[in-house]
Every structure is written in structure tokens, then in C-alpha cells.
Structure 1
Amino acid sequence: MKHLARLMMAAGLFTMVACTAQADTPPKDLKATLSKKLGRPVDAVNPTPVKGIYEVVMGKRQIIYTDAKGEYAFVGEMVDIAKKESLTEKRIAEMMTTDFSKLPLADAVKIVRGDGSRKLVVFTDPDCPFCKRLEQQSLAGIDNITIYNFLMPLPGLHPDAERKSKLIWCAGADQTTAWKNWFFDAKLPEGTGECENPVQRNMALGESLGISGTPALIFADGQIVSGAIPKEQIEELLNKAKAKK
């Protein structure tokens, strides 16, 4: 606990001095040094706006900071005080991306509204209350959109979610109706849920994308956003992604 407290104190002090100097290039051997000392793979070491302090990326989306010799670790957020902006949060958001065109959309329940011109992928668990909030509130009234819903149950949290996912998928031609009946009326389709289904593939895909919770949204520009974000934010991100095309 004392060690953790010292690290957090260091992070706090580090935050106070963020963005006070020009960025510089990390030493060539710093990545290997850190990997050896930390006992785990380091994906990247990048410069920061603070001279002598470097961003360390591990496990795809975990960020800590270190000095030039890899002797100290700074755990916490780097904040641009003038802009009142978390640079750490911004960098994590930048890393949360994927190639939308390579997603296996045939493995998703497809819902089209209006002209369907805007595209959105949602990873969802049928027993996740936040997924239901997203469906019932955040996505309500959003038009001219095609939504690809990947059923990704989280067995550790919702033991019955995989069964429900398969029941919805195995509704066949009535998938869209089954989807709406469950998320809006808590009514499952009849049947056994025994058909060829992508549920396990979806779980593996989510893990490969660094998605550990639901709902998770992927916009057409590849940006991944976690949580039942507000309708206004979804509209903004949909339009931004469409404009990039």
C-alpha cells in the first residue's frame, strides 16, 4: 500500500508539471529495458510534452509514464493545465480504433432505419442494463442509420446471457423482431437456441479489439467508444465519421 501511495503521489506531482517543455525522442533501448524490468511486454514508448518523461503503452490500451532510464514509473493522468484536458484520456481514445471495413458484419443483427447511410456497430450483452439503456434511450429517434448489433455475452457477469444471445440469433428471419422484443419488452423468442451462431466468435472478436465491457460502440471511422453514451454524442460521432468518408 505504501508503494502504491508513493506511485500515486508521484503521479500527482507529475500532473502538476505537464506540458512545460518540448517533446523529445525516447532512448532507443528504453522499451527493452522497461519490458525486462516490468516483466511484461511493452507495446510502445512515445514522447510526451514533458522533456525526459515518456509514455509507455502496455496491453494495447494501458498507459503509464517513465523517466529516460526506466527507473521510475508514474501512474496516473497527464493533464494539460492550460487546456484543462487529460492527455492520457485523449491518447487512450486515439488508440481505441479499428478498421471498420474488416469487421465481420454478417455476424451481427442488422437494423436499418431511414436510408441507413450512417453506420454503427454495437457490442452488446442481452442482460446488460446499460445496453438496454442504450437501446431504449440513447439510440431512440436516431434515423438514417444502419446498426450492426454483435451479441457478446459476458458470462462472468450474466450467466444466462449466452443462452439469450443464441435464442435471439436463432430467430432467423425474425432476428430484428426478436431483438426489439427482448430489449424493449423483455420477451424472448421461442425455441432452443440451437443453430449455427456467431456468439463465441463475437466474444473472441470483442476481446481482440480490447472490448471488455458492454455496450461498446464502433463508428464508421473506426473509433471505439465504451458505455451508454448520450444520444447527442452518438449523433455527433456518427456525423463526424460520415464526413471522413
Structure 2
Amino acid sequence: MLQRYRAAAFAGFALAAVCAATFTASAVAQNKSDATLDRVKSAVQTKLGDDAPVKSVARTPIPGLFEVSVGGEIMYADEKAQYVILGGNLIDTKTRRNLTEARQSELNRIDFAKLPLDRSFKYVKGNGSRKIAVFSDPNCPYCKRFEATLKSSKIDNVTVYTFLYPVLGPDSDAKSKAIWCAPDRLKVWHDWMIGEKTPPTPAASCDDKPVKDNFALGHQLNITGTPTIVLSDGRRLPGAVPAEELEKALATLK
């Protein structure tokens, strides 16, 4: 159902994109107890159907326009859900801040402390003081590019927890099992991702359940692409971000 709405274009977005405003703490507090939001949620859910569960609804700086979180995406709707805006960004023209992007980042935060790090393998550079987790597919070319970025001299003092997340088909499953079952997972991972050295065939008795569990976890966290980088404060960085962008993000960690 959501795909059908995504295909439509809405002229009202142009208006939304040029309205200058910011979210405030009082508005967020009001969202928690505002019965109007329940009505909006119900109206949108009725329009979308049960295959696209509405996670949350919040007010925007624009009177009568509501933010709706659906399946990791943000859309906008009027109170009766007669009109929706999907696939667009709400921009503060004064600060040039992308309010949609900021809210989506906040809604998609991951509790780093709850990640099952025992289902990952660790790579430490320097003192390892800055921590990130990466959901990665062994056949993903962007994941290979990101591994090269991590190896570069521009990134230091970082601990990387890699979660094998085979989303690109049966060969990704096989390679993930081979890497997970290797005596030295990190070495075999780097040999393959950077050196193109095929992982050794795993023992038939090897249990790759942790990899399967990671696949389920990724879906639960709405991780739709690889690599997905998770900073220790819960923020996500999608894709093979350049070294400069990664370092900038790492520098903001407390």
C-alpha cells in the first residue's frame, strides 16, 4: 500500500519545503499527550492498511501538517489523512536545516549498549576509544569500499564491531558462514574484503546461527542497506561514507 502512495506526486510539498520553522521541546512534550495525534494515526493507518504499520505521529511546525513515521520512513499528512506528502523533505529555509532528515535520524537511533556484540568480530585501531558497529554484506562493493576507508591513515582510535548481514543472496550467506566459522574471523574478513582472497570452506559442523540471528536483528532495526554504520550514540550513517565524513561524525562522540 505504501508503494502506491510513494508513486504519487503532491503539489503541496512545494509549500512545505519553503516554510521556515524548527521543532521545539514544548512541541515534543505536547505530542505525548495530544489526543489529536491518535486521531491522525488512526486516519493514516486506515488509508495505508495493515501492511504498513504507523509507528508514531508528531506535530510539525506547520499548522495542520503532521509527521507520520511508517516503516523507517517519514511522510506527512493532514488531520484526516485526505492528503499525504511522501518522499519529500521539510526544510527550514532560514537555517537550511533538513528537518525530515534530522527527525528520521532521531527516530532510527539504535541503542548501542543493547547490540549483541558477541555476534560480531572486532577490529581495533589506535587506542580504540571511539566505537562503531557496521552491518555489512561480504559481496557488497560499498562495504568493501568502506573497509578500505577504515584501513586508511585518516581514521584512528576506533573500535569497529562488524555484524555479518548477508542480504545479497545465497553466495553472501555462504561467504558469511565461511568468515564466521574461520579461526581468525577478522583476518579472513580483511583478506576477502580488501585482498579478494576467497574465505576457506567451513567445517560442516560449524554453527552459523549468529549470522542468521544478525539477519533477523537487521530487519528488526529496519536496516535496509549495507553498509550501515551505527555510532556509539545510536546515530546511523548509511552507505560507504568517505573518511572525512566518518571522522567528522566520530569527533562528535562523547
Shift in alpha-carbon separation, 1:4–1:235, aligned structure 2, 3 A:
closer
Equivalent residue, structure 2, for 1:152: 165
**Which amino acid letter does the alignment assign opposite residue 66 of structure 1?**
A
Task: Could you list the structure 1 runs, at least 4 aligned residues long, displaced by more than 4 angstroms after superposition.
Answer: 3-6, 20-26
Structure 2: which 5+ residue stretches go unaligned?
none
1:168·1:188 contact (CA, 8 Å) conserved in 2? no
Shift in alpha-carbon separation, 1:102–1:187, aligned structure 2, 3 A:
same
| Matched residue SS, 1:29 | helix
Alpha-carbon distance between aligned partners in 2 of 1:162 and 1:100, rounded to the nearest angstrom: 25
Alpha-carbon distance between aligned partners in 2 of 1:147 and 1:135, rounded to the nearest angstrom: 10
Equivalent residue, structure 2, for 1:63: 74
Residue by residue, what CA displacement relative to the aligned partner does 1:83-127 show, whole Å, maximum 9, x if unpaired?
222211111111221111111101112112222221111110111
* From 74, 78, 89, the counterpart of 2:101: 89
- TM-score between the two structures when normalised by the length of structure 2: 0.84
Structure 1: which 5+ residue stretches go unaligned?
none
| Matched residue SS, 1:106 | helix
**Which amino acid letter does the alignment assign opposite residue 46 of structure 1?**
A
Shift of 1:186: 0.6
| Matched residue SS, 1:132 | helix
Residue by residue, what CA displacement relative to the aligned partner does 1:156-203 show, whole Å, maximum 9, x if unpaired?
x3431111111111112x212111111111102322354122211111
Alpha-carbon distance between aligned partners in 1 of 2:40 and 2:185, rounded to the nearest angstrom: 52
Alpha-carbon distance between aligned partners in 2 of 1:225 and 1:79, rounded to the nearest angstrom: 20
Shift in alpha-carbon separation, 1:180–1:63, aligned structure 2, 3 A:
same
1:120·1:219 contact (CA, 8 Å) conserved in 2? yes
Alpha-carbon distance between aligned partners in 1 of 2:161 and 2:85, rounded to the nearest angstrom: 39
Shift in alpha-carbon separation, 1:178–1:7, aligned structure 2, 3 A:
same
% identity of equivalent residues: 41
Equivalent residue, structure 1, for 2:84: 73
Count of residues paired in the alignment: 236
* From 26, 30, 39, the counterpart of 2:49: 39
| Matched residue SS, 1:150 | strand
* From 174, 179, 186, the counterpart of 1:168: 179
Equivalent residue, structure 1, for 2:15: 13
- TM-score between the two structures when normalised by the length of structure 1: 0.87
Equivalent residue, structure 2, for 1:180: 190
